[in-house]
Structure formats: C-alpha cells, structure tokens
Chains A and B, each alone.
Chain A
C-alpha cells in the first residue's frame, strides 16, 4: 500500500485539524470497546469456570462418540472354556453362536460357537487365538502372548509400540488404531473391530432379508413364494424396514412428521389470527388509540413470554405431543406476526386507499382493494420465512416435552450409545430444513418478484 511520508501526514493533519481530531476520538472508542470486550470475556472465563470445565472434560470419550456417528463396532468376546474357545456376542448383536461375521474364522469347531482355534482379521493386522496362546500381527511385527488360564498374561519378548500392558502379568491391550483393539485377559479375549457406515440400516438381523445383497432382496420381493404366508413379500420387507429394531425408521419418520406439522400448523394459524389483529393494531387503519395499544401490548406479551414457557405450559395441558408444540408456536408467532404485520400496514401507500374511498366503497371493501393487495405479498413472505425457522424451533421445544423429533433425538443422546441414530436424525432434519428453506425462498421470490432476504 502506498504510504505517505510522516512529514506529509503531519502537514495534512495541521491543515485539517477537525478531520483528524474526530478520527482520533473514534479510534480511541474502538480501542476502549475492544478492551471492554476482552475484559468481559475474561470475566466470563472466570464466571463459568471455563478453563477447569474444559480441562475436566472427558475428551477421550468424545472421540468415540464422534466415531460412532459414522461407524459401528462389532464386539466378539472369546472365553477360554473347558471345551475350547467359546465365542460370544453382545445381546443385541446381529451375530450369535451360529452366525459369525466373515472376518472371524473358526477352526476345529466342536459345537456351535465353540472352537479349538479362532483366527480374526482386524484392519491391517490379524489375531490368532488358541487355548493358552494369542498371536497378534500388525504389518511386519508379530507379538506372541502366552496365557496361563485364570492367572497371568505375558508376552514373549518385548512388546511392540502398538501393544500395552498396564501391570506385570496383567491384561495386554493391542491397538489396531481406528479399526479396533484386542484386550487379552487371563480368562478371555475382548475384540472390538470398527467398520465405516451404519450397521443393519435397512433390515435388522431378525429380518429374513438381513445380509442379502440389493439384487437378492429385489428378486425376493417380486417372487411369488411367500416367506410369511400371511403377507406378501413386499409388505413384509416394508414392515421390516419400519420396525427395524435398532433404527426404528417408522417411529423416526412419524416423529419427524410431527415436527413438520408442528411448525406448519403453528405458523398457518398464527398468520390467520395475526391478520385481523394487525388491522386493529395499525394506527393508520384503526383510528382508535386504545384499540391500537391493547393489540400491540397483546403482541408484545405473546412474544415476550418465551416459546419455552408456552411449550412447558401446553405440555402440561395437552400431554406430550405435537398439539403442545403447535400451541406454543401459535402463541409466540401470533405475537411476532402481529408486530411485523402491523408495521407493514403502517408503512402502506395511502393513495390506493384514498382512490378506493373516493369512489364510495364500503369500509370493508376499502381494506380489501386498497390495503390487502399491497400487504398480502409481504405478509405471506414473512410467514414463509418463519415457517422454515419454526421447523428448527419445533425441534428444540420438542426436547422439553412438546414431542416430535426433538424428544426422540434427546432420548437417543441421553443413552450415550446411540450416536449413529442421532446422526441419522440430524441428517433428516438438515434435509427437511434445506428443502423448506429452498421452497420458502422460491415462493417468496415468486410472490415479491425479487430476491427477498
């Protein structure tokens, strides 16, 4: 940037003192405001004890929660039993003693789920489990672990960097990075392997369609041989999708529908009620100060009693569900729309009204032809704008008990183990908000004939 020599700056400043004095003061104000903000943020740091809370946060678990959004773990457990190696899976897993994932290989099978030797591929490595011995490979390194049953775990030779033993003869944890880990204990081996994606997203493990490729499912759906005699295959497939035990598609969609309905009905009713009330509140339409003030204070009241309070109130009155959400949005937005509408009415062009009045029209007709055509596009475009933003609000007030996807989302988060379901619902919400945003933008552009922001 071209800069002036200091002498020139001084000369100019001397010639126009007023200009520079003003800007000095402005500069000082800027610095003072900045200092004030910094001081306030320091106060807030102390007030909320931000430093200690952040330091005490359970950040290790945060990584696992985030990984759960987009991936899932399969957790077989191998016990050193009397008959051999017994492999078990968590209770709600898709696998059981007769059904094993393809990365687990049972050799020398003695009875279902009991084998003499188990080989597993985990990420870029592998684990071989035999009674009394576990051999883990990762890349070119190998570690052999000897186990004396129920007593000690010990590695032959030094441990590689990816294996860790907490105490002498204690359990050894072998890490495969993001892909998983193997914990070797004296009486069992716990394996965790992580895979990208969502497990059993379409069909759960109890469905006859589980584990089949897309082509197989399609041909099954269209085949005449019924899997269950009481319903067609297509109906069965649909039913299985809706009642997927882990993802609960049917319930999630129903709750999403409730949230959409809450926002839609609440916004429409609020617009319908605010429309006549705004005419009463606008001082150029209703020439009665008392009526104006009463209507305006009513709007302020409805708006200032927070949506949260209305939501809690109506949840008590109607019970949890969309009716409470609809009422909360309706009450808050009647106030907001009333205020916005009456402001729009107070800014109308009076000449159209005068024109209609001059030809002797009745008062109602004056409003109909002199006022409404001017303000209707503004009204509708404001309602559309809030429709989209209310969809977001409806999600939040749902969580305090007004029903809809917010409550479901909140329940999924409270368990701390269903973060993949949270991700699924968030994606649905984002999609709905995105679609509504675009529809409302498109309609508003059509209505006002220009880009309204």
Chain B
C-alpha cells in the first residue's frame, strides 16, 4: 500500500484538520461558557436566597416530618370530610367543615368540590382560548392571508398574549373583581389564546392547499374557502392541541389559584402554611390523581383523534 502525498490529498487533509479543530474549539468554548454561566448562576442564587443551600440541606426533610399525619387514616378522613377522632375544636382536625351539601345527607367533600372548580376553570379557559385562537389563527397563516401587515399584526398580538405574565392579568382582575375564580379564568384564557393561536396557524400553514384551490376555482369567498377547504383537515390537530392545552391549563389554574384565584391551589397554599398535615396530604393526593387522570384521558382522546402522531414538544407554551 502506498501512501499518497499528492498536493490535493494534503490540502484535503489540512482542511479536514482545520474543520475538526474549529469544531473542537466551538465545543470546548461552548462547554466552558456553560460551566461558567452555571457556576455564576448558582453562586448568585445561593447568595440572594433567604436560606443558604449547604446550611439548609440537612434540614431539607424537616418539612416532611411536619407533613406526617397522626395516623394514615387521617388522610382519608380529610379527603372525604369525615370526623376525626383527634378533633379538639381547632381547624386542623375539623374535616367536616366545608362540606358542600347537595341534599340533607348527601355532600361533596370540600376538596373534591375545589378540585372540580379548578377543573372547570381550566375547561372554560381552554374552550374560550380555543374559540378565539381558532378565529385568529387563519389571519396569521401565510397561505391564507396575502397582506403582510395583517399577518404581522396578528402574530405579534398573539405573541404578546402568550408572553404576558399570567399573574399580572390575574392580579389586575383580582383588584377589579375581588377574589374568585373569574380572574383566574381570564388570565388562563388570555394566555391560551396566544399559545393555541400560535400552534394553530402553524398547522394551517402546513395544510394541503388543493381543496382550497378547488374552492377558489368554484368562486368561493374567503370564509367559505377557510371553512370548507382548511377547517376539515386541520380540525383533528386543533382538537388534539387543545387537549394538550387542557392538561397545561389544569396545572396553570392550580397555580393561579394559589395566588388568589380560588380552587384547589388556594386551599393547598393555606393548608401548607398552617401545617395542617393531613389536609395537605389529602389535597396533594387528590391533585396528583386528577392530573394523572386528565393526562391519561387526554392522551387516550388524542390517540383516537390523530393516531400515534407524536407532539415533539410536550407543553408547547
């Protein structure tokens, strides 16, 4: 075997080495940057935190001790509002407080009712967000709207709705409407319009334009083209994104609830801050089961709607 050392071969080799070393430089530079940024961030986070990481670490699970109820059945009693044997008149063991009576003897336990409230906040916001996002998305799609300014305007509008912090909207309406679920609905809906609108117009832009062409040839106007040409093909995807959004909104309305928007989030925050351990565990258990349930249900429905088509980026918000 002879070793070729022609000029061409040498230059190829040199170029290859240059490329490889530049690549290595980028990788090492990127990694070094990441390590520096991470170290700086950690130092900054630790410095500006109320408790220092290494001081607090041994006490990390002190809180868990405070979370253990006096016996395992307490959790069930708290969850189903049954009277507790430890009842001493304080709020801590007064589980029957807050029952929602439907008839004389039939009641919905307090936390189940609050969970239903949170689920309804999420569902209403998803429906409102779906309706408005649906109306807006066609105006932002480049294959349906030729006016650049309109598309630009609608897209920026949706971006602002999406990026606008939810707690600010909730806080504003809490100040205007006083405490309750409606500020939470408004906050989550506004965010949902932006988030779903973005997903939707991307689906519309990937739609098959041949039905639209046919309708245009038959002289259809713009709403007819959208309704008969585009909507039937994008609807399964829209619905499936909306279901994905529902999962996110259940979580979001829990969080908004914790800052005053009512529902399960509020009672969870109160119960943690007052160290009502059995109540806290009951709420966490209920929340966990609900979220798992909603996720499973939505996954099942999405599979029915669009088959096994994967959504690459989970939350999409």
Contact = CB atoms under 8 A, between A and B. Distances in A.
Interface string B214-227: 01001111001000
Contact of A403 (B34, B49, B256, B288): B49
B37 A426 contact: no
B287 interface: yes
A413 B44 contact: no
B168 interface: yes
A57 interface: yes
Given A261-B41, A308-B265, A2 B255 contact: no
B315 interface: yes
Interface in B191-223: 202, 215, 218-221
A291 interface: no
A1 B181 contact: no
Contacts of B150: none
B120 A312 contact: no
A400 B269 contact: yes
Contact of A426 (B123, B164, B176, B269): B164
A306 B287 contact: yes
A262 B291 CA distance: 24
The residue in A41, A323, A406 that gathers the most chain B C-beta atoms within 10 A of its C-beta is A323
Decide if the interface of chain B is mainly helix, strand, loop or mixed: helix
A319 B167 contact: no
A321 B124 contact: no
A317 B67 CA distance: 12
Contacts of A265: 38, 41-42, 45
Interface string A385-410: 11001001001110110010010011
Contacts, number: 202
**Tier of interface size on chain A:** 35 or more
Contacts of B292: 300, 304
B176 A62 contact: yes
A305 B288 contact: yes
A397 B255 contact: yes
A48 B165 contact: no
A265 B48 CA distance: 15
17 contacts: A1-B218, A1-B220, A44-B120, A44-B123, A47-B117, A48-B181, A61-B175, A304-B291, A306-B251, A308-B258, A316-B272, A321-B45, A321-B51, A340-B313, A410-B259, A433-B163, A434-B163
A453 B255 contact: no
Contacts of B182: 48, 50, 53-54
B9 interface: no
A395 B167 contact: yes
Contacts of B314: 336, 339-340
A276 interface: no
B176 A48 contact: no
Interface string A308-337: 110011001111111110100000000010
Interface string B280-317: 00001001100110010000000000000010111101
A429 B162 CA distance: 12
Contacts of A273: none
Contacts of A318: 49-51, 53, 56, 60
Contact of A37 (B127, B166, B313): B127
Given A44-B120, A304-B291, A307-B251, A312 B164 contact: no
Interface string A338-362: 0110010001000000000000000
A382 B288 contact: no
Task: Output the residue of B62, B123, B314, B317 with the most chain A CB within 10 A.
Answer: B314
Interface string B112-125: 00000100100110
Contacts of A47: 117, 120
Given A400-B269, A409-B165, A322 B49 contact: yes
Nearest to B51: A319
Contact of B49 (A321, A395, A434): A321
A65 B172 contact: yes
B36 interface: no
B75 to A, nearest CB: 15
Contacts of A308: 251, 254-255, 258, 265, 268
A257 interface: yes
B32 interface: no
A400 B45 contact: no
Contacts of A53: 177-178, 180, 182
B56 A396 contact: no
B49 A319 contact: yes
Q: Would you list the 9 A-B pairs with minimal beta carbon distance, nearest first?
A: A321-B49, A319-B50, A319-B51, A413-B171, A322-B45, A261-B41, A323-B49, A433-B163, A62-B176
A309 to B, nearest CB: 6
B176 A307 contact: no
B70 interface: no
B46 interface: yes
A140 B114 CA distance: 59
B202 A57 contact: no
B261 to A, nearest CB: 11
A312 B313 contact: no
A406 B258 CA distance: 13
Contact of A41 (B127, B159, B166, B255): B127
B167 A409 contact: yes
A410 B164 contact: no
B148 interface: no
B63 interface: yes
Given A40-B123, A53-B178, 8 more contacts: A37-B127, A44-B123, A50-B182, A56-B178, A321-B51, A323-B46, A400-B269, A413-B171
A258 interface: yes
Contacts of A382: 312-313
Contacts of B164: 426, 430
B160 interface: yes
Given A306-B254, A403-B49, A430 B160 contact: yes
A39 to B, nearest CB: 12
